[in-house]
Amino acid sequence: MKKISKGNIVFALFLVLLIIPTSRNFIQVNLQKLVAKVAPISTIPSEDQITITNYNTSFKGINTPNLSLQDTKGKVLFINFWATWCPPCIAEMPDLQDLHDRYKSNKDIVFAFVSGEKKSVINNFLTKKNYSLPVLQQTSEVPEELAHRSIPTTFIINKNGKIVLHKTGAANWNGKTVTKILDQLLQEE
């Protein structure tokens, strides 16, 4: 008989845990949290930034008033597309909540967390996790500049409508990099 190493036992245990549905989600979320801590966040070079051309998009508020993109003109917009079933989305939610809490009293920034799920599913998730993020549902097509194919996808748009950051996947949204970006954008005219 071959000697069984501790590494093989740990690996086998990890595989078994991945097979069990309840532990699989836990593992996926926590792995995404680790990825988010090291995932780079950077702005788009100014010469490559594109401007939103169509502000005729509206969102229905789940736990916040309805929002029109028209309402965000002249403000910094932080918009995140997510879902309650998405492990990377769940992984970045605590950082997003902290970031939102830090800036929510600033009238020059708008946070929009957009989900396509049913209101009851979203409300159950927010209540269970004790989140107070302003969650919305799309009621019309987003501008092509904000079109995305995966979630989570996050955009930060400056006061002039230019997309200065576009990030797909989980990230550390409450770190120094993002707060520096937002603080700088808020100071711009």
Backbone angles phi, psi at 148, to 5 degrees: -145, 160
Number of H helices, E strands in the chain: 5, 7
Greatest pairwise CA separation for the chain in angstroms? 73
Does residue 118 belong to any structural domain of this protein?
A: yes
Model confidence pLDDT, tens digit, residues 66-96: 999 999 999 999 999 999 999 899 989 999 9
Cβ atoms of residues 21 and 87 within 8 Å:
no
What percent of the chain is modeled with pLDDT above 70? 83
Does residue 30 belong to any structural domain of this protein?
A: no
pTM of this structure: 0.84
| Amino acid code (one letter) for 49 | Q
CA distances from 75 to 1, 60, 81, 187 (A): 68, 19, 19, 11
**pLDDT of 34:** 63
- Residue 1 pLDDT exceeds 50: no
Does residue 73 belong to any structural domain of this protein?
A: yes
Does residue 128 belong to any structural domain of this protein?
A: yes
- Residue 42 pLDDT exceeds 90: no
Q: Strand 135-138 vs strand 58-61: parallel, antiparallel, or unpaired?
A: antiparallel
Does residue 12 belong to any structural domain of this protein?
A: no
Q: What CATH number does residue 58 fall under?
A: 3.40.30.10
Backbone angles phi, psi at 67, to 5 degrees: -135, 135
- Residue 23 pLDDT exceeds 80: no
**pLDDT of 11:** 74
- The pLDDT mean for the chain works out to 89
Q: How far is CA 162 from its chain centroid? A: 18
Does residue 67 belong to any structural domain of this protein?
A: yes
Does residue 26 belong to any structural domain of this protein?
A: no
Does residue 2 belong to any structural domain of this protein?
A: no
| Residue (of 173, 166, 171) closest to 148 by Cα position | 166
Split at pLDDT 50, 70, 90, the class of 189 is confident
- Residue 129 pLDDT exceeds 80: yes
Mean pLDDT of 128-139: 96
What is the H or E stretch that residue 65 is in?
none
Domain interval for residue 54: 38-187
- Residue 105 pLDDT exceeds 80: yes
CA distance 89 to 183: 24
CA distance 42 to 164: 9
> Count of domains in the chain?
1
